[in-house]
Structure 1
Amino acid sequence: MRETQSARRALGETGSAALEFIVAGLLLLVPVVYLVVSLGLIQEQSLGVEAGARHIARSVSSAPDAVTAATRARAALATVVGEYGLDRDSVRIEMSCRPAGAACPEAGVTLIVTLSAKVSLPLIPPVLGLDRLATVPVEASAMQRVSQFWGAP
């Protein structure tokens, strides 16, 4: 038995498909777009800390002395922070050398540079400190052998 248009109206099945599509589309589309934007920011900052750690390790390990190494490290960090849009206040650098107990940096040691930062999620209001809570930490490490000619005249 076929339902007629009048029978559907009597059952209350008159709806607006366009309105239902718009509402359902918005309810599904907005979170997906937010997720894509957030993951894009996290990926960008992850690449930034990885590049920063690698460039700082290279610039320090190839420097002829400690003063030049510090200058090169600051320049590399400033470049990476500007290029990848890292939050300068949340960026942390740790340098260590292996073998343990060796002066850092010193000729022949392995330099380990760890760079970390926090990614703030978009559209989070600074109400009650929510913007500080809605962050994702990213971290990267790079190892580089210091030249045997480190500090040589």
Structure 2
Amino acid sequence: MRRRRAWATNDDGSAALEFITVGVILLVPLVYLVIVLGVIQEQTLGADAAARHTARVIALASDADTAAARADAVLDGIADEYGLDQDALQVSVTCVPAGVDCPSSGATVTVTIGARVTLPFVPAVFGLDRALSIPVEASAVQKVSRLWGAQ
């Protein structure tokens, strides 16, 4: 008959240790996922707000110079509010019908804002921060009044 040591067969207290170990292993990726989704949502809402408000101020401006100045001011304010990188924003303003000055009376202004979301805690080593960034884009459309620029 073989004799077993008492400490080798005693399982008292090991369930708590296993629970803590497995809990930490599962909790850390879950917390990181929540943080990443929050950052992506913030940047997406920022791009959407920038597109909407920029299209609106362009359509409501009295002339092209005022529209450009107000659009720049709105983009700066929204980029600061939502933490968007102003240097990395891609802004596209187009008008329909094509071939007319943009903006012009009766045209439809489309503003598209593109940004890249860098993941938190990703180091800038070997370009990992750029390689693991997620692109977000938002567009907004606004109709310009037929009386635009007639003042």
TM-score strictly above 0.5: yes
**Given the alignment of the two structures, is residue 83 of structure 1 paired with residue 84 of structure 2, yes or no?**
no
User: Given residue 144 of structure 2, which amino acid in structure 1 is its aligned partner?
Assistant: V
**Given the alignment of the two structures, is residue 57 of structure 1 paired with residue 43 of structure 2, yes or no?**
no
Query: Aligned residues: percent identity?
Result: 54
Deviations 1:91-111 (A, max 9, x none): 110000112222211100000
User: Given residue 79 of structure 2, which amino acid in structure 1 is its aligned partner?
Assistant: V
Q: 1:101 to 1:8 in 2, by over 3 A?
A: farther
Please report the TM-score for the alignment, with normalisation by the length of structure 2.
0.91
1:22 Cα offset (Å): 1.4
Q: Secondary structure at the match of 2:125?
A: coil
In the alignment, what sits opposite 1:98? 96
In the alignment, what sits opposite 1:31? 29
Q: Distance in 2 between matches of 1:130 and 1:147?
A: 46
Structure 2: runs of 5 or more not aligned: none
User: Given residue 125 of structure 1, which amino acid in structure 2 is its aligned partner?
Assistant: P
Instruction: State the aligned residue count.
Output: 148
User: Given residue 147 of structure 1, which amino acid in structure 2 is its aligned partner?
Assistant: S
Among 44, 47, 51, the residue aligned to 1:46: 44
Among 60, 65, 68, the residue aligned to 1:67: 65
Q: Distance in 1 between matches of 2:105 and 2:10?
A: 83
Please report the TM-score for the alignment, with normalisation by the length of structure 1.
0.90
In the alignment, what sits opposite 2:143? 145
Q: Do the aligned partners of 1:61 and 1:147 also contact (CA within 8 Å) in 2?
A: yes
1:152 Cα offset (Å): 1.3
In the TM superposition, structure 1's runs of 4+ consecutive aligned residues that sit over 2 Å from their partners are 6-15
Structure 1: runs of 5 or more not aligned: 1-5
Q: Distance in 2 between matches of 1:37 and 1:88?
A: 22
Q: Distance in 1 between matches of 2:93 and 2:87?
A: 18
1:11 Cα offset (Å): 5.2
Q: Distance in 1 between matches of 2:6 and 2:29?
A: 34
More divergent stretch after superposition (97-106 vs 55-64): 97-106
